[in-house]
Amino acid sequence: MADLVVILISVSIVSLLSFIGILFIGLKEAFLNRILTALIGFASGSLIGGAFLHLLPEALEDSGQTTFYYVITGIIFFFIMEKFLYWRHCHEEECPVHTFVYLNLIGDGIHNFIDGMIIAASFVVSNDVGVATTLAVIFHEIPQEIGDFAVLIYGGLGKRKALLYNFVSALTAIAGAFIAYYLTYLQGIEPFLIPFAAGGFIYIAATDLMPELHRRNQTKESIIQLVSILTGILLMSALKILYS
């Protein structure tokens, strides 16, 4: 059984990323956009590498071909969560700014809750898979948290209140970690959680992060995106070799 303390430390580190937005307030928008392009690409590669190089190989050893049904279940589940619960795509013209802020916090809380479940489920398999998964989550959380902080400021919240609300939303990851950890005591649940988490990684990379990259089509930015994606995949590959 995985060490709950290690899981909680990992999830807490991810939750503390909610404060990262404060570091980018003074940066020029053009420079920030370049950083975000690289971070989003790196996050995409890390999630893809984490799913295909760490989570799925472990799941296939336990569940065989059934693994792919669990992956599909994970993808469909994330689609449902984003379609019906994850309200962060409410446009300014469709709802009041402050309503948008609070809906964004609710949606972000749901997203962080799932991240906590994914991290806990990965540590249940092994510490090396858990570490790789935590890193993948961190890399996709950084650009997201920067964006979330900007949304809260734009929505009218002060810097301190924005940081506090964003952090409270991030703490739902701990609740998700607890639930996933104790679910593993149920017979037969562990072989389901890992491919389910892999489905979540694939969904986030393919539907949330990569479409953002396609909005920026200049040659230089496209090269940065490709290099960043490949760097994220190579990092997950290096971790795989290191822990083999």
Token digits of residue 37 = 């392009």
Alpha helices in the chain (DSSP H): 4-16, 29-49, 56-63, 66-80, 97-125, 127-154, 159-170, 172-183, 190-203, 210-214, 219-243
pLDDT of residue 209: 80
- Please name the amino acid found at residue 93: E
Q: Residue 217 phi/psi, 5° resolution?
A: -110, 5
* Per-residue confidence in pLDDT tens, the chain, 244 aa: 568 889 999 999 999 988 887 776 666 666 766 777 887 888 888 889 888 988 888 788 877 888 999 999 989 987 887 676 554 444 444 544 455 577 667 767 877 888 898 898 888 878 888 888 899 888 878 877 776 776 677 667 777 888 888 899 899 999 999 988 888 766 566 677 778 878 888 988 888 788 878 887 788 888 988 998 999 899 888 887 876 6
Q: Are 11 and 174 in contact (CB under 8 A)?
A: yes
How many CB atoms neighbour CB 138 within 10 A?
17
Per-residue pLDDT at 96: 47
Q: What does the CA dihedral 124, 130, 136, 141 come to, rounded to 10 degrees?
A: 70
User: Can you tell me which residue has the tokens 């479940």?
Assistant: 117
Structure token pair of residue 49: 């590498």
